[in-house]
Chain A
Amino acid sequence: MNEKLNQYVNGVFAPYSGVKSVDELQADLLSDLQERFNELKKEGKDDETALEMTIDSIGDIEQTVQEVANLTRSLERQVLTNLSSSDLTNSDFAGVTAHKGKFAGSSLHGSDFSGADLTGSSFKSSDVREANFNNANLTDCTFSTLDLSNSSFNHSILVRTTFSKSSLAGVTFRDITMTDVKLTMTDLSKTTFENCTFDGVDFTNSSLEGLNLDHQTFIGVKFDKAGLKDVTFRGATLKNVSFKGPALSKRFYRAIKTICFDEARMDKLTYAALKGLEADLSKVTVI
């Protein structure tokens, strides 16, 4: 088995791993690619050329993965759980599967959702204080306009999860790879993020004041119009990260200068944009 080929394919499929149909697609694809790679090697191509040609033969796989994931959703019978407007204080939902569950306007204070598969569920306007979402699958879930104070999301699966206009004080996000998550219009100044990778995450219009984002990875992340005073990115990795301010907002540009980027690593684009905003990049490594 070619290790590099495997790594490449794993990388593409990582955000969707666990979706059965997608895992199957990954296995099918890998076996084809392996055969192509072996044939190219037999024709006398060196490893690098064979790998390049093999990867080139894949085409636009991200779109196919999306399609397959969507197709599955429409085929699989959905367990529709409607628990709207219910009093479920301190309920035990640990390990349950509730796809597209509706928890709108419910009281879920102190409830345990650890390890639950809540794909596609919505928690609008609910009381979800001190709830436990550790290890839960929260793909395509919506948490908007609700109180999540002191809840925990450690090791959870966050893909296209929306947290907007919510109270996230005292919430912890530990050891998570967030993909296309929306954390917009939200006060995150009392939220904890530790050992996370932020891929395509949107922090537009949120307040991150004083937040410690040290040693974490940010790819394609938006901090547009966000409150960034005294945020620290010590030793963090930033690629293709956007810091766009509202036009003529002196406050935004002043805040940029207070961000700590010591020992951070960033790509040229992010570096150039931040330099234009006069951020302190004296201890930054460009990658």
Chain B
Amino acid sequence: MSENKITSDLLRGHTDTMILRLLSEADRYGYEIVKLIAERSDGNYELKEATMYSSLRRLEADGDVEWYWGDGSQGGRRKYFKITEKGKETHANNISNWEYAKRVLEKLL
């Protein structure tokens, strides 16, 4: 992974939305989520396990995600996270909020 990791609050503030995006594509398990975020950001953003689980637990409490036991590769069962209908709405909302903020920020920064 790259040396200059962007660890700013700016990115961390969007953790929920990043996770919802990944889950809107497919059901995924914990390690898969952090790995995909590192890959897709070309190693520029490393989501910490702690941050991810904090976000997942919150999304679960809000009814945006659910989980179920799936089959693991090495014997153990894996916990798969799945987006709910409400989660899809939250994701769409977050995206439109971001588009709006981006337009405003581009004029201000």
Q: Is the CB of A60 within 8 A of B50?
A: yes
Contact residues of A with B, CB < 8 Å?
A: 21, 25, 28-29, 31-33, 35-36, 38, 57-61, 63-64, 67-68, 71, 75
Query: Measured between alpha carbons, how far is A9 from B68 in the docked complex, in Å?
Result: 23
Chain B contacts of A25 at CB under 8 A? 53, 57
Say which size band chain B's interface belongs to: 10 to 19
* Mask of B39-82 contacts with A, CB within 8 angstroms, 1/0: 00000001011110110011001000000000010101011000
Q: Is the CB of A29 within 8 A of B49?
A: yes
Chain B contacts of A28 at CB under 8 A? 30, 53, 79
Chain A contacts of B48 at CB under 8 A? 57-60
Chain A contacts of B53 at CB under 8 A? 25, 28-29, 64, 68
Name the CB-closest residue of B to A58: B49
Residue in B50, B58, B78 whose CB lies within 8 Å of A58:
B50
Interface assignment of B36: CB less than 8 Å from any CB of chain A:
no
Q: Is the CB of A63 within 8 A of B50?
A: yes
Chain A contacts of B34 at CB under 8 A? 32, 57
Q: Is the CB of B31 within 8 A of A36?
A: yes
Prevailing SS type, chain B contact patch: helix
Contacts A29-B49, A57-B46, A57-B48 given; does A67 touch B57 at CB 8 Å: yes
Q: Is the CB of B31 within 8 A of A35?
A: yes
Chain A contacts of B78 at CB under 8 A? 31
Taking the closest CB of chain B, its distance from the CB of A199, in whole angstroms, is 20
Q: Is the CB of B79 within 8 A of A64?
A: no
Q: List 3 A-B pairs, minimum CB-CB distance, nearest first.
A: A59-B48, A59-B50, A32-B31
> Can you list 6 pairs linking A and B with CB atoms under 8 Å apart?
A31-B78, A31-B79, A57-B48, A58-B48, A59-B51, A60-B51
Which residues B66-101 have CB closer than 8 A to chain A? 72, 74, 76, 78-79
Chain A contacts of B50 at CB under 8 A? 58-61, 63-64
Q: Is the CB of A68 within 8 A of B49?
A: no
Q: Is the CB of B54 within 8 A of A63?
A: yes
Contacts A28-B30, A31-B76 given; does A59 touch B49 at CB 8 Å: yes
Chain B contacts of A60 at CB under 8 A? 48, 50-51
Residue in B49, B54, B58 whose CB lies within 8 Å of A32:
B49
Contacts A32-B34, A32-B49, A58-B49 given; does A67 touch B54 at CB 8 Å: yes
Name the CB-closest residue of B to A62: B50
Query: Measured between alpha carbons, how far is A32 from B34 in the docked complex, in Å?
Result: 9
Chain B contacts of A32 at CB under 8 A? 29-31, 34, 49
Query: Measured between alpha carbons, how far is A71 from B50 in the docked complex, in Å?
Result: 15
Query: Measured between alpha carbons, how far is A31 from B72 in the docked complex, in Å?
Result: 10
